Structure 1
C-alpha cells in the first residue's frame, strides 16, 4: 500500500497529518509544493488546498477527513477515544486547534520579520531564488487580509500576545495533572494542538513563551519522542 502526502512542509495541517501517519506506524512518502509548484495543487483537488493524501489509489483532502479515513482503515493506535464523552472532547480540541490556534500561528508568521524570513526559506526551499521575492509578499498580503477578516488581525500585537499567553496558561494548567489532553493516551487532540505549536516553535521567537510553561513543554517533548 503506497501512501503519499502532498504537502507544504510548514503547514501545521500537513504537520498534523505527518503526526497522524507516524502515530499509526504507517510508512509514507511526501511530495512538496514549494514555490510556484504550489500552482499545481489545484490539479489534486478543486479547493486547491493541502494536505492531500493519496492512499492506494484513493485521494483524500483536509486533515480532519484524512484523520477519520486513516482511523477507519487502521484502528490500531487509535486517534479517537472509545468513550463517547472523551471522543467528543478530543474532537472539540481538534476543532479548536484547527480553527482558533491556527490563526495565532499565522499572525506570528506574517507580523514578525524573522519568522517570515524563516518561513520563506521553507516555502521556497529547492526553488529558484527569484520565486521568494514574488511569493512571500503575496502570501503576506493574503494572510494579513485573512487575519483581518477573521478578527485577530484587527488587534494590536500586544493584545494578540496576551491572548496567546492565556491559551498557553490554560494548556499548562490542564497538563499539570494529566499526561495528555484527553485521557491517558495520545489522541487527535494532542496531535492537532502540538502540530500548531510546533510551527510557532520552529519559526517564531514566541517559542520562548511556550517553553516557559513547564508542563506544556514536557508534553511537547513527549509528543515528539
Structure 2
C-alpha cells in the first residue's frame, strides 16, 4: 500500500490526499512529529520537507513531484489535460496556487492565531493535553506578533497577504462562476492544487480530516465568512463531496494518521 508521510494540517499534504482519493488509490497516512520525525523523514527521502510518498521502494518528495509520479504510474483518471493550451493553463495554475495561496495563507493563519486565543488552541491536535492548550492560549498576542515579525509574519506582512488573498479568491470566484472546474470540463491538477492549498483559509466542514469538530467549516475572518468568495468555497465543497474520501478507522484512505515508523 502507498504510504503518505504528512502533517494533517499541511496544505500540500492535503493536495496529495485529494489526488490520491480522486484516483481511487489506497494509502496509509503516517503523521510526522515536527523535529525528530523530520529527521527520520530525512533518512527516508534525503530531505526534511513533507509530504513524502513511499510506493514500494520508490520514495518521492514534494507535492508537485508526487502528483506527476502518480499520473505516470497510475494513469487512470489523469490529472494533466492533453490539449496543449489546457495543459499549459493547468500547470500554470498549479504552480501559482503553491507559490501564492500556499505561502500567503500560512501568514494569515498565523495572524488569526496570534489575535485569537480560542482559534489558536482550536487548531491544536485532538491529542494535545488540556494543560498545554491552556499555556498556548495564554501567550499574549504582542509576543506572537513579535515572533511573527522575525519570520516574515508580522502584522504588516499578514495584512499584505490577506489583501492579496482577497484578489486571488475574487479571481478564482469569477473563473468558477459558469464553469465546473478551473480548466475544461474535468477535474485536473489545477483544481486539486487550488483546493488543497486553500485548506488553511477555511477548514473543510465534512469528515475529511482529523480536526477538532469546533473548527470544521471555520477559517480566516474576512475570507472564509465573506459572501464575496462564496462561489469559490461552494465549488471547493462540491469538489470534496465528489472526490475526497471521508475519514475511516482502518488506516487506509482518508483515515486518521498513524505515528511515523520508518524501518
Give SS of 1:108's match.
Answer: helix
Task: Give the CA deviation at 1:71.
Answer: 0.2
71 and 212 in structure 1: CA distance in 2 versus 1, 3 angstrom threshold: same
Q: Does the CA contact (< 8 Å) of 2:149 and 2:155 recur in 1?
A: no
Match in the other structure for 2:247 = none
* Bigger relative contact order, structure 1 or 2 (CA pairs below 8 A, ≥6 apart): 2
Structure 1 unaligned regions, length at least 5: none
Task: Give the CA deviation at 1:168.
Answer: 1.1
Deviation track 1:5-58 (CA, whole Å, cap 9, x = no partner) reads: 000011100000000100101011100013555343322223201100011221
Match in the other structure for 1:90 = 90
Task: Give the CA deviation at 1:158.
Answer: 4.0
* TM-score, normalization by structure 1: 0.82
Q: Confirm or deny that 1:19 pairs with 2:18.
A: yes
Match in the other structure for 1:71 = 71
Give SS of 2:108's match.
Answer: helix
Matches within 5 A, 1:94-109: 94-109=94-109
Task: Give the CA deviation at 1:140.
Answer: 8.9
Task: Give the CA deviation at 1:85.
Answer: 1.1
Match in the other structure for 1:207 = 224
CA distance in 2, matches of 1:111, 1:10: 16
* TM-score, normalization by structure 2: 0.71
Which of 132, 144, 152 is the matching residue for 1:147?
A: 152
Give SS of 1:59's match.
Answer: strand
Give SS of 2:94's match.
Answer: helix
The CA RMSD measured in Å over matched residues stands at 2.8
Deviation track 1:186-207 (CA, whole Å, cap 9, x = no partner) reads: 1000000001112220253332
Deviation track 1:52-110 (CA, whole Å, cap 9, x = no partner) reads: 00112211111001001000011111111111111111011110111111122111221
156 and 7 in structure 1: CA distance in 2 versus 1, 3 angstrom threshold: closer
Match in the other structure for 1:198 = 199
Match in the other structure for 1:218 = 234
Match in the other structure for 2:171 = 170
Q: Does the CA contact (< 8 Å) of 1:4 and 1:54 recur in 2?
A: yes
Q: Does the CA contact (< 8 Å) of 1:106 and 1:143 recur in 2?
A: no
Which protein is richer in helix relative to its size? Answer: 1
143 and 194 in structure 1: CA distance in 2 versus 1, 3 angstrom threshold: farther
